[in-house]
Chain A
Amino acid sequence: MTAPSTPPPRVLRTVRLLLVAAGAVGLGVGAVKLTALHPSQLRSLAVWLVAGVVLHDGVLVPLVTVALAGGGLVLRRLAGPGIRGHRWRAPRGTGPLVTSCLVVGGVLTLVVLPELHARSLGAANPTVVPGDYGRRLVLTWAVLAGVAVAGTVALSLRDRVRRRREPPAAREAP
């Protein structure tokens, strides 16, 4: 199969030049607007910009990487040597299911933790951040865990039904 056809090089070059020009204008406008800030304000912004990248690249992604690797290790252990001889192989589809639950929980936690902190600082009036977000977040994690477990069980059953229907020769697959 051929790769999807690419536009002619001249079109590509024109588009790239236009984008660079537009980008330069955007950056210029942004820089000009930033000059309206006082030096102390710019310093505070610089701290935030650097801290954002450091916290994300240096803390968040490594944490996620370790979690992913850890999860993989646990699954391989369960499928291989097992725990006290009990082996269990995760059914197909477990990966996306559990990843989805973790991503949903993780994103909601990231979004709600600052809200919890803002609430603890005391809101300007009772109509700002009025809810019991901490309890709701815990409940959400519980629901996600339930969905992950129930979903895995359902996928497991579906796998078992499928395997029973297959002719014996096909069941030999690892």
Chain B
Amino acid sequence: MRLDRLRDTVDARGRAASDRAAAPLQHPARSPRTAVVVGRLLGTAFVVCFVTGLYSHFLQDPLPWMRFPTWPSNLYQLTQGIHVTTGIASVPLLLAKLWTVYPRLLQWPPVRGLVHAVERGLVGVLVAAALVEVATGLLNTYQWYPWHFPFRGTHYALAWVVVGALAIHVAAQLPTIVRHRRRERAVSGGQVSAGSTTAETTTRRGLLVAVGAGVAAVVLLTAGQSFRVLRRTNLFAPRVQGLGPQGLPVNKTAAAARVHDAATDPAWTLTVVHGARSVALTRAELAALPQTEVELPIACVEGWTTFARWRGVRVADLLALVDAPSGTGARVTSLEPSGPYRTSDLEPAFAHHPRTLVALELGGEPLDLDHGYPARLIAPARPGVLQTKWLTRVETT
């Protein structure tokens, strides 16, 4: 008996406290319909980020059976530009969604049963993971890492967590989503439908206009780092197209890679190997081979892209020097003493592609040291981290 009374008292007090706390949070724009509309936009943004993110991940860590397109040459500019721009656009969308559903944080009772507890727990996971995913992605573009976990691995893992928790959240909310998926209109004859009051609709529109303005502003003022068409309004992106030595931004400098001495060594040679056959070429000998000129972008994993004019020897020609057959892939190695990107692999389609070069010149001049002097790899449809700089060796795989 006493336990029953205690439970009823706690229930009543809890409900009263929850109502008191929720009162100042009432706002006509906060409604299930708003949550559905903003949720749809945010969910779409997250799915776009996930798909483009997976493409970027597997380009760098392919499963053995994967093959990637070599066309269009700026494919990675498109996918990674969309990835980073959509991630930035998620900032106002995520904040708007969380603001809309905030009163649900204080719902009473906090846990109605096991299923409800699991559902609320997963919502917590979704909110936390989404906030951290967007924040770490943004800070990565600023090259600021105020944490002790590895960015790449964690960003990838959290992406799965966000998408998984999102799918379950949509499942849990599906009846509400279905009910509010279309705008309801007032009945003729003066009855207003049970869906939205006029005040709700007006301020919901106000909220959507404001969020739309936020998304437009943040995209217009940063996407110029990835897409040429918006380069003139690029006020706030961490990179500027065309800003840097030889008109190209730099990610890893020669000093950071600790290759200065090895790269400026006059005795440097590029060794090309196929099985037992090997050839060592000096820079002059490379320059004496038939040269090809290509216009290809450096498209960074951080989202920025700049196009550049390269000149050098086709990798296919180098492989032919050591009698490598046309179906073989290649691995290039850098002078960098350590680091995850000191080698990169080229599948056969890329290795023998007419636009894949060992570049010696950039924009008509010899490569700048920070851009990979004496030679770097440049290929179409590849992320910047795989366009290996300061080459020393090309071997067949």
Q: Which residues of A does B touch, CB under 8 Å?
A: 1, 3-4, 6-7, 12, 15-17, 19-20, 22-31, 33-34, 36-37, 40-45, 48-50, 52-53, 56-57, 60-61, 64-65, 68-69, 95-96, 99-104, 106-108, 110-112, 114-115, 117-118, 121, 123-131, 133, 136-137, 140
Which among B27, B88, B128, B244 has the highest number of chain A CB atoms within 10 Å?
B128
A sample of 7 cross-chain residue pairs with beta-carbon separation below 8 angstroms, ordered by A number, consists of A26-B161, A26-B165, A31-B161, A56-B95, A104-B217, A118-B143, A128-B239
* Interface pair B238/A129, CB less than 8 Å apart: yes
| Complex Cα spacing A100 to B210, Å | 4
* Interface pair B185/A1, CB less than 8 Å apart: yes
| Complex Cα spacing A79 to B181, Å | 37
B148 within 8 A of A: yes
Which of the residues A3, A25, A68, A96 comes within 8 Å of B27, measured between beta carbons? Answer: A68
Question: For A28, what are the chain B residues with a Cβ–Cβ distance below 8 Å?
Answer: 164
Question: For A27, what are the chain B residues with a Cβ–Cβ distance below 8 Å?
Answer: 160-161, 164-165, 168
Question: For B143, what are the chain A residues with a Cβ–Cβ distance below 8 Å?
Answer: 118, 123-124, 128-129
Known: A52-B128, A125-B370. 8 other contacts (CB 8 A): A23-B167, A56-B95, A95-B206, A111-B236, A114-B138, A114-B144, A128-B238, A129-B142
A78 nearest CB across to chain B (Å): 19
* Interface pair B168/A20, CB less than 8 Å apart: yes
Q: In chain B between 197 and 240, which residues have their CB closer than 8 angstroms to a CB of chain A?
A: 203, 205-207, 209-211, 213-214, 217-218, 221-222, 235-236, 238-240
Residue of B nearest to A95 (CB): B206
Question: For B127, what are the chain A residues with a Cβ–Cβ distance below 8 Å?
Answer: 53, 56
Q: In chain B between 290 and 327, which residues have their CB closer than 8 angstroms to a CB of chain A?
A: none
Q: Which residues of B does A touch, CB under 8 Å?
A: 24-25, 27, 88, 91-92, 95, 98-99, 102, 105, 124, 127-129, 131-132, 135-136, 138-139, 142-144, 147-150, 153-154, 156-171, 174-175, 178-179, 181-182, 184-188, 193-195, 203, 205-207, 209-211, 213-214, 217-218, 221-222, 235-236, 238-240, 243-244, 249-250, 252-253, 256, 370
Main secondary structure of the interface of B (DSSP, over half): helix
| Complex Cα spacing A41 to B128, Å | 17
Main secondary structure of the interface of A (DSSP, over half): helix
* Interface pair B157/A34, CB less than 8 Å apart: yes
Question: For A130, what are the chain B residues with a Cβ–Cβ distance below 8 Å?
Answer: 239-240, 243
| Complex Cα spacing A53 to B162, Å | 14
Residue of A nearest to B134 (CB): A52
* Interface pair B213/A37, CB less than 8 Å apart: no
* Interface pair A64/B210, CB less than 8 Å apart: no
B368 nearest CB across to chain A (Å): 12
* Interface pair A57/B105, CB less than 8 Å apart: yes
| Complex Cα spacing A147 to B203, Å | 20
Question: For A123, what are the chain B residues with a Cβ–Cβ distance below 8 Å?
Answer: 143
Question: For B156, what are the chain A residues with a Cβ–Cβ distance below 8 Å?
Answer: 33
Give the top 10 A-B pairs by smallest Cβ distance, nearest first.
Answer: A26-B164, A30-B160, A23-B167, A33-B157, A30-B161, A23-B168, A27-B164, A44-B148, A19-B171, A52-B131
B333 nearest CB across to chain A (Å): 23
Question: For A104, what are the chain B residues with a Cβ–Cβ distance below 8 Å?
Answer: 210, 213-214, 217
* Interface pair B95/A108, CB less than 8 Å apart: no
* Interface pair B138/A111, CB less than 8 Å apart: yes
Question: For B27, what are the chain A residues with a Cβ–Cβ distance below 8 Å?
Answer: 68
Which of the residues A29, A53, A95, A101 comes within 8 Å of B124, measured between beta carbons? Answer: A53
Residue of B nearest to A68 (CB): B27
Residue of A nearest to B174 (CB): A16
